[in-house]
Amino acid sequence: MTIQEIFFYLFSIIMLAAATMVISVRNPVYAILYLILTFFSAAALWILLEAEFLGIILVLVYVGAVMVLFLFVVMMLNISQSRVSEGFVKNLPLGIGVALVMLAEVLMVLWYKNQTGIDNYPIPVPHEQGYSNTAEIGERLFTAYLWQFEIAGVVLLVAIVAAVALSMREREGVKSQSVPQQISADKRDRLELVDMPVEGVEKN
C-alpha cells in the first residue's frame, strides 16, 4: 500500500464510523460533533483527490459556519434526549425505503460501468507539481460556466433577500434602540448645569 492508500482508508474508516455515530448517538450535541468529524474526513478525502479547493471550502463553509449555527440552535433548544429517539420506529420504514433507493442507484452505476467494461476507465493520472485546483476551478467558472455561475449567484441573492424579508417584522411591545437617535444625542438637550452655593463648608 502506498501512503496515499493508507491515508485514504484511514480517513474513510473515520468518516464512516463518525457518520454512523451521527445517527446512533443519543445526545444531539454529540451528533453534531460527529457530523463535523464526518465533514472533516470528507474534506481530507477530497484533498487526497487533488481537489484542495473543495476540501478547504467544505471546512470553511460547513464546519466553520453552518455547523456553528447548528450547535448554537441545539444548545439553545436543550432537546430532551428521550424525544430524539421517539420517532425512530415510526420513521424506520421510510428511512429504509430511502436507503434502498440510494443503494439501487449505486448498484445501477456499478452495473452500467461493468457493461462497458471497468477496464475502459483509465486510472486517473496525478497532476504534475504546481497544479493549482483553485486556479483551475476559477478559470472554468468564469469562462465556460459563467452563465450558470451568475445564475447561481442570483438565486443565492434571492434567498438572502427572502430570509431578511421574512425575519424583518415589526413586533408590538418590544423596546429596541434607535441607532440614529442614539448617535444624535446631544448633551445640550439632556444636561442642565445649575449654579448653587457651596454647602457644608464653614468659613473660618
Partner 1 sequence: MDAILEFAWLLFRIVLFTLLPLILLVAYYTYAERKVIGAMQSRIGPNRVGPLGLFQPFADVIKLLLKEIILPKEANRYLFLIAPILAIAPAFGVWAVVPVGDGLVWADLNAGVLYILALSSMGVYGIILAGWASNSKYALLGAMRAAAQMVSYEIALGFSLLGVMILAGSLNLQAIVNAQSGGMLDWYWLPLLPMFLIFFISALAETNRAPFDMAEGESEIVAGFHVDYAGASFAVFFLAEYANMILMSALTAIFFFGGWLSPFEGWAFLGDSWLRDSSIFWFLAKLIFFMFNFLWIRATFPRYRYDQVMRLGWKIFIPIAMVWMLVAALFVFNGIVVRGA
- Contact between 6 and partner 1 by CB under 8 A: the answer reads no
- Contact between 22 and partner 1 by CB under 8 A: the answer reads no
- Contact between 15 and partner 1 by CB under 8 A: the answer reads no
Phi, psi (rounded to 5 degrees) for 27: -80, 120
Taking the complex as a whole, the smallest distance from the CB of residue 21 to partner 1 amounts, in Å, to 13
* Residue number with CB closer to partner 1 (68 or 92): 68
Neighbours of 43 (CB within 10 A): 23
| Angstrom distance (rounded) from CA 161 to CA 165 | 6
Q: What is the dihedral of CA 40, 46, 49, 51, to 10 degrees?
A: -130
* Contact between 23 and 38 (Cβ < 8 Å): no
Taking the complex as a whole, the smallest distance from the CB of residue 81 to partner 1 amounts, in Å, to 13
Neighbours of 36 (CB within 10 A): 21
Taking the complex as a whole, the smallest distance from the CB of residue 64 to partner 1 amounts, in Å, to 3
Q: Measure the N-to-C terminal CA separation of the chain; round to a whole number of Å.
A: 101
- Contact between 141 and partner 1 by CB under 8 A: the answer reads no
* Residue number with CB closer to partner 1 (56 or 84): 56
* Residue number with CB closer to partner 1 (114 or 178): 178
**Interacting residue ranges for partner 1, rule: CB under 8 A:** 3, 29, 33, 36, 52-53, 56-57, 59-60, 63-65, 68-69, 71-72, 75-76, 132-135, 177, 179
